Structure 1
Amino acid sequence: MEITDARVASIHYTLTDDDGNVIDKSPESQPLSYFHGAGNIVPGLEKALSGKQAGDSIKVDVEPEEGYGQHNAALVKDVPRELFQGVDKVEPGMQFHAQSERGPLLVTVVEAGDETVRIDGNHPLAGKTLHFDVSVVDVREASEQEKAEGRVAA
């Protein structure tokens, strides 16, 4: 059975950066299952998996435009340190959920000064080429519930 829209695919994957460092990997005992065609994985990987079957393996490089987008400098801002009330120590690398004009946003602390904190609302992989090594484990028809929800049922 081929991976097409409204089917559930289960894959093992390893994601690396340009230097070959592993960024993410599916656990050996638990492949990632996703509903194909609903944008549940990055578009470039979803396109590359279309038409593949259980047993197929692919390596695909996903450019930022088909991954997490280009880095947007407008999403890097200095905010008053007082917005972090109740947090004992604010350090670079920490992540917080913030409310933006477009809804909830995960932000990463870039710099923490006495008066201001520089935050970055870009996805940590924005602007980066993603290198995937993927093995297709299984492909199945989605249930009616999964089709209605556009995601794999829990």
Structure 2
Amino acid sequence: MEIQENTVVTLSYHVRKKDEEGELVDFSGQSYPLRFLFGTGKMLPYFEEQLKGKTHNETFAFRLPADFAYGKKDESLIKTIPIEEFTEKEGYTKETLEVGAYIRYENSEESQSGKIIDKNKKEVKVDFNHPLAGQDLFFKGNIISVRKASFEEIERQHHIEPDGIRFQ
């Protein structure tokens, strides 16, 4: 069976920054493969486009340009926040507000996750871009299986695990 809309795809993969020799950023092996319902919009569209038509046991390797992955880095998503907006009652301490730490920031207008890129005694500079924004990605892997989705999976817009556990 070919990968197409309303099929459940199971695959193993490695994703690296830039090219086949780049830094490994994620992988999913044979023991814990990636499984998803194709065509629901939950995966990157260009990623799905590269897999369409492939079948069981086929391999794949492709570059995903930053524009088709997580986009370019948006400078407006790098924000300077007064340090007093972070309180210990929310779980933030001097130790958790260190450069390189990932944080969750909430105020009355928004809730975002970001990485602290700078800090001084008065403010914290946080990059709220996706960690892979601005990065070309290289995917390489193997199609483990392709099957027709069940009516329930299509209705829910999500696959059902073989052991019956349902993920939302």
TM over 0.5: yes
Per-residue Cα deviation, 1:115-152 (whole angstroms, up to 9, x for no partner): 11011111000110000002100111112222122222
SS in 2 for 1:5: coil
Structure 1 moving runs of 4+ over 6 Å: none
SS in 1 for 2:62: strand
1:110: which partner in 2? 117
TM-superposed CA distance for 1:43, in Å, is 2.0
Partners in 2 of 1:41 and 1:94 — Cα distance?
27
Which residues of 2 match residues 53-92 of structure 1 at below 5 A?
A: 53-86=55-88, 87-88=92-93, 89=95, 90-92=97-99
Percent of aligned pairs sharing the same letter: 27
1:30 aligns with 2:32: yes
1:14: which partner in 2? 14
Per-residue Cα deviation, 1:58-92 (whole angstroms, up to 9, x for no partner): 11100112101111110001011122211122112
For structure 1, which runs of at least 5 residues remain unmatched after alignment? none
TM-score of the aligned structures, taking structure 2 as reference length: 0.84
Partners in 1 of 2:111 and 2:149 — Cα distance?
29
How many residues align? The count is 154
TM-superposed CA distance for 1:96, in Å, is 2.1
Partners in 1 of 2:153 and 2:112 — Cα distance?
26
1:132: which partner in 2? 139
Partners in 2 of 1:103 and 1:10 — Cα distance?
35
Q: CA RMSD in A?
A: 1.9
Partners in 2 of 1:3 and 1:29 — Cα distance?
21
Partners in 2 of 1:82 and 1:147 — Cα distance?
47
TM-superposed CA distance for 1:100, in Å, is 7.5
1:120 aligns with 2:127: yes
TM-score of the aligned structures, taking structure 1 as reference length: 0.91
Closer/same/farther in 2, CA of residues 141 and 67 from structure 1, 3 Å limit? same
TM-superposed CA distance for 1:29, in Å, is 0.7
Choose the corresponding residue for 1:49, options 44, 48, 51: 51
Partners in 1 of 2:104 and 2:155 — Cα distance?
29
Partners in 2 of 1:100 and 1:51 — Cα distance?
45
Closer/same/farther in 2, CA of residues 145 and 106 from structure 1, 3 Å limit? farther
Partners in 1 of 2:109 and 2:55 — Cα distance?
37
Larger Rg: 2
